[in-house]
């Protein structure tokens, strides 16, 4: 059943309907929270969508559904930074660093935001 959601979301994304694709991926994750393909594809769709209110809301929801999924925390931090919310960005980068301490990009971004070592 998860495959049906993913196929629909992929088709919507291919048509450039990224907000709808993101909503379908979130629906899939609501029913199948361990579905890693839906998580990865959702992060990619949201990254392509850019810093919009919809992308932020969907990424926050993904971070709630999969709190230990580093790409979600990293994308949330990026969106916060792009939307002029550096404190929130720093908080999420620190969470991402705890989840994946080897991610050098996250470490650099923490430093760039003046956060020093996480």
Higher pLDDT, 45 or 1: 45
For the segment 7-27, the average pLDDT, to the nearest whole number, is: 96
Q: With respect to residue 114, please indicate whether it lies within any of the assigned structural domains.
A: yes
SS3 (DSSP) at 66: coil
Domain endpoint, select from 25, 52, 79: 52
In a domain, 72, yes or no: yes
Considering its fold, how many domains does the chain have in total? 2
Looking up tokens 């990865």 gives 40
Range of the domain at 74: 67-118
The CATH code of the domain that includes 89 is 1.25.40.10
Domain match, 35 and 80 both: no
Dihedral angle computed from the Cα positions of residues 98, 55, 62 and 69, in that order, rounded to the nearest 10 degrees: -30
Residue 58 lies in a domain: no
- pLDDT tens, residue by residue, 48-66: 998 999 999 999 999 999 9
Rounded Cα distance, 22 and 105, in Å = 25
Residues 76 and 35 in one domain: no
- What predicted TM-score, i.e. pTM, was given to this entire model? 0.86
Per-residue pLDDT tens for 68-97?
999 999 999 999 999 999 999 999 999 999
């Amino acid at each position: 059943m998860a495959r049906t959601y993913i196929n629909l979301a992929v088709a919507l994304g291919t048509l450039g309907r990224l907000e709808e694709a993101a909503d379908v991926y979130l629906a899939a994750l609501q029913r199948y929270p361990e579905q890693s393909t839906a998580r990865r594809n959702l992060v990619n769709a949201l990254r392509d969508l850019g810093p919009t209110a919809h992308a932020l809301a969907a990424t926050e929801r993904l971070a709630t559904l999969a709190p230990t999924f580093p790409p979600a925390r990293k994308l949330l931090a990026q969106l916060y930074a792009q939307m002029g919310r550096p404190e929130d960005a720093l908080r999420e980068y620190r969470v991402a660093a705890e989840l994946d301490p080897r991610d050098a990009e996250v470490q650099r971004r923490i430093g760039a935001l003046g956060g020093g070592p996480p």
